[in-house]
Chains A and B, each alone.
Chain A
Amino acid sequence: MPSSNSAVSTHGLGISYGDAVALHPLTLDVQKGEVFGFLGHNGAGKTTTIRLLTTLLEPTTGSARVAGHDIISDPLKVRAAIGYLPENVRLYDRFTTRENLMFFARLSGLEKPADAVHETLDFLNITELADRRVGTFSKGMRQRVGLAQAILHRPDVLFLDEPTSGLDPMGVRQLREIIDRLNAAGMTIFMNTHLLSEVARSCTSIGVLAQGRLVFRDTMQVVAARYDEHSLEELYVGVAAGHSEVAA
């Protein structure tokens, strides 16, 4: 049951395309202030889950609330309360970082978009990219500008889909530091990832999705007490392969 402290709560949330089930009914609760790591193989349904929670897709079964709003009956309120960084974000190549961010800030309904852009660039330490065209950026630079558009309006819940994908070790470290700072500022973070090392370092709780079903869910405190870094991988491989005996 969702509590008043839930940032994300789903009840039997699922989606099918004809006979093909993309996500089996998923019941999940992520508390406010958590950094939730959502693990799973490619095609397990992680991105589909995020797309449902961000209102990009409509579920065929179940319900969900994000930041206290129903994703089906109140999609606009959900969108106003979330930020989203898809995997491989690109933005408008012919526009500068500032032009891109001003556009998204205005679309988010911010009263002082220029101030929000300035503060966000400053927060992410990318002020030097402000007046450069996005089309000239490396993957890491794009990822940071993409993150900037996701947090411009200081959302309650931030959804990150494979945020470290394609980043070099320095980029991964910088992203981790940013996630820590955002979380410290009170933002709930829901993160799809493959990187177990990132999960171990950044997340306060994890869930493992396998073939469209949630097969494991616990806090990192419990996980850390039961598994060391090596056995975390064993845990993941085990539950993802369907070894139910290790699922909590």
Chain B
Amino acid sequence: MTPSRLLARQSLAGLMRDRSVLILVAFFAAMVMVTAWLGWSATNTVNAIYADAAQYLAGAGQPVPSNPVGQSAPLAVLRNLGVYISLIGTFGAIVIGQLLIEADRRAGTLPLLGTRPFARRDYALGKMRALGVATGAMMAVAGLISVATLFTIPSLVVRSADLARLGLFLILGWAYITTFGLVALGAAARMPATASGLISASVVWLVVTFVLPELTANIHPTASINPVSTLAATPDSAFFRVTSTLLGPVSLSEAFAWLSGDLLSFLPDGLAPRGPVPPLVTLPLALLLAFLFALRSAAKLDLTAGGPDA
């Protein structure tokens, strides 16, 4: 087994014994279930109303239209999933990314690792591999709950193309939260103080999630947690046209929301992505930059530091 795989395996085992990580992942899973329940409940309500209306119309001898549930895109019932991934999933990834470095620092094992016969880059790759697996597991949980939901909602016809789009959405979600996890990992490696690393990564996340959308399209923080209002068109004013063009490419949460809406089929007709760079370019580029930042930072980590008082 390569050193990076060994380090990843050890790191994952450590994460699984960390109560704060388990609580966060459980909370994420619970919120995904809430998403599923919301979708299921809304669809059931429409079904019930339709059944009553259909009975009334049939009794009155009028034509009965088809059930609107069957006409809408089935994945749209999962529209809240993007919000929970963007908020809780990302925060979970930040905590995990930070912990991956912090666990070694607090355990005082950095000098022991640094005197083992493997390259510093292997250490960084091992940590990033662990992060990727951990965030992948989170998205797998979200995927399982989502698929179970889709197949338990009556009147919803799920085709293989829908499942493929859901798979793409989960990959997108994985890339999005892993980007922030990598930022946290890199920040933790660069800043020896626990609070500094965690706070700096959280500030990046908060700015991307709440500040940038306000500057690019006047989307207030409260609106940022609504999957539909997030997808507002850029206001027709000179200020927002400029800010949208300049900040749109770095407004990752908006890029994620736009792609989520597209993949889950609830994107408003004709809504253009923010800024001149397509989201499908923005997000992979952000992931690549975060990867390079984390790689460089973790490979340059001060291996002499650490211990219980670090």
Contact = CB atoms under 8 A, between A and B. Distances in A.
Given A86-B112, A90-B107, A104-B112, A57 B117 contact: no
B108 interface: yes
Given A82-B115, A92-B10, A94-B17, 6 more contacts: A76-B117, A79-B117, A79-B118, A90-B107, A103-B6, A106-B1
Given A56-B303, A57-B304, A90-B308, A107 B108 contact: no
A89 interface: yes
Interface in A88-104: 88-95, 99, 103-104
B167 interface: no
A104 B116 contact: yes
A89 B117 contact: no
A169 interface: no
Contacts of B303: 56
Interface in A38-97: 51, 54-57, 76-77, 79-80, 82-84, 86, 88-95
Given A90-B308, A106-B6, A84 B115 contact: yes
A92 B107 contact: yes
Contacts of A56: 111, 114-115, 303-304
B304 A51 contact: yes
Contacts of A57: 304
A150 to B, nearest CB: 8
Interface residues of B, number: 26
Question: Most B CB atoms within 10 A — which of A82, A86, A89?
Answer: A86
B118 A76 contact: yes
B14 A92 contact: yes
B3 interface: yes
B268 interface: no
A101 to B, nearest CB: 11
B113 interface: yes
30 contacts: A54-B115, A56-B111, A56-B304, A57-B304, A76-B117, A77-B117, A79-B118, A82-B115, A84-B115, A86-B112, A88-B108, A89-B108, A89-B112, A90-B107, A90-B108, A91-B107, A91-B108, A92-B10, A92-B109, A94-B14, A94-B18, A95-B14, A95-B17, A103-B6, A103-B10, A106-B1, A107-B3, A107-B7, A107-B113, A109-B117
A51 B110 CA distance: 12
